[in-house]
Amino acid sequence: MSDSNQIVPDPERVSQPDVLLLPAEYFFVERVEVPAAVTHGELADYAELSIESIAPFPLEQLRWGFFAAPDGHSILIYAALHERLKRAGYKDLESYKWVLPDFATLQGARFSRQTQIVLEGETFETSWLQPEGEGLPLEVQTYRSDAALAASTGNSAEANSKTSTPLARDRYRSATSAATLHLRLLPLKLTEKGLPIFHFETIGETPVEGHWSPLTPSEASLWHADIRPAGFKGIERKARRTTALITQITGYAGLFVLFLLLLEGLLSIGQFWLGTRQAKVDAQSTAVRRIEDKQSLMHKLEQVAQNELRPIAILEAANQIRIGLGTTGIEYDEVAIEGGNRLTIEGKANTINELNAYTEALRQSGNFERIETKQLTRSGKTTFTATLDYRRKQPSDLVGSPPMEPAVAEASNPETEGGVE
């Protein structure tokens, strides 16, 4: 991690918005085996203990991270001096969403055979050996791209000779028999949760079989791979979760407000409709009441017509029968009309025979449906109470029937006609 071969890329051009990608040149990279007793939840603590044991600098002076193999049996630890990053122009690391080494973008990639990966940037290239399947990178190194060297020196070959290292690009590539895959990172896209999606394009030869684009690391693996201090990451992680929760609650609140506004609009429309209906009802209520009054009157008239509510006619019919008997032995003391069709007569008779004759004449008249009499004889005088239910006449009974009054008049005897006393 000496400064002799330090590469100073342009941070503005190397990094994507919200994500800072650092060249592997600044990092000390070490693969560490994980004991079987260490659980997945203990990997972060184990990585911290491992970096403290192998790094020649205090932990607070380093910016470090790690990512684990899929089986969890090994981890790749990397660390960079904070001051060196600042001198290279990488400042305000806390302002980014994620700060990662460039080789961490291919975390989770897998290939059908061992492959030499060359990740090409605008000012640098990073190369490492990717084992078959889902393994951890091996022999990670970074060097200036040909375009960057040509721009800085005007002679690509001379620049390469001046910047070559023991792990120089050409020597390393010639020493390995692995397939080579050239990749270039495309512009990043962030999900709704702020997680980057890494898309790559191939350059040159036909790529080997495998999966390397797109790659979507999980949030937990990104936090482990991020090189900023653990304290900052803990606070930032909680803040992002709180912000996401507030955003979610705000979204739900907005939907609820829209629902309330919609409901209020529906209620307003309903009230307007009800008001219109009520206005129509009020406008028609007077006419409806007038019709109801007429119907009520017609109902009463129909009852009168059906029941023949004629008290005077009832009394006259009973009295005409009494007069028609030609006797003055029947006298009325009190007459009561009940319910319009019932006549109750309290009176006296000279003899019981005269009362029986009167009762029989009432039955024979056909004007009464029910005739009940009670009598009491004392000292030669007979008192009685007669209850008569007037018979309602049907229209068929009246067709062709002679008037009652002339028939009664013919049966009357002028000498015995005395009227009601």
DSSP per residue, 115-155: EEEEEE-SSEEEEEEE-SBS---EEEEEEE-HHHHHHHHS-
Residue with more model confidence, 219 or 362: 219
| 208, 143 Cβ separation under 8 angstroms | no
Contacts of 344 (CB under 8 A, 6+ apart): 335, 336, 337, 338, 385, 386, 387, 388
> Which backbone phi and psi does 29 adopt, to 5 degrees?
-115, 135
The pLDDT of residue 350 is 81
Q: Per-residue pLDDT for 205 more than 90?
A: no
Residue 318: per-residue pLDDT: 80
How sure is the predictor about 57, in pLDDT bands with cuts at 50, 70 and 90? very high
pLDDT(306) > 60? no
Residue 281 neighbours by CB distance under 10 Å: 10
Query: Given pLDDT bands bounded at 50, 70 and 90, which one contains residue 158?
Result: very low
Task: For 347-369, write each residue's pLDDT tens digit.
Answer: 888 888 888 888 888 888 877 87
The verdict on pTM exceeding 0.75 is no
- Give the span between the Cα atoms of 64 and 226, in whole angstroms: 7
Token pair, residue 68, equals 């684990």
Residue 238 has pLDDT above 50, yes or no: yes
Token pair 């350059």: residue: 203
Torsions phi, psi of 219, nearest 5?
A: -60, -40
Residue with tokens 């000496």: 2
- pLDDT tens sequence across 387-414: 888 776 554 444 444 444 433 333 334 3
- Confidence at 222, pLDDT banded by 50, 70, 90: very high
Q: Can you read off the two tokens belonging to residue 254?
A: 């907005």
pLDDT value of position 388: 82
Annotated domain spans of the chain: 11-228, 311-411
CATH architecture under which domain 311-411 falls: 2-Layer Sandwich (3.30)
Please check whether residue 231 is in contact with residue 103, taking contact to mean a CB–CB distance below 8 angstroms: no
Residue 208: is its pLDDT beyond 60? yes
So what's the pLDDT on residue 176? 52
Alpha-carbon distance of 73 to 187, in angstroms, equals 33
- Span 147-170, average pLDDT: 46
Nearest CA to 147 out of 136, 155, 139 is that of 155
Helix (H) or strand (E) holding 337: strand 330-338
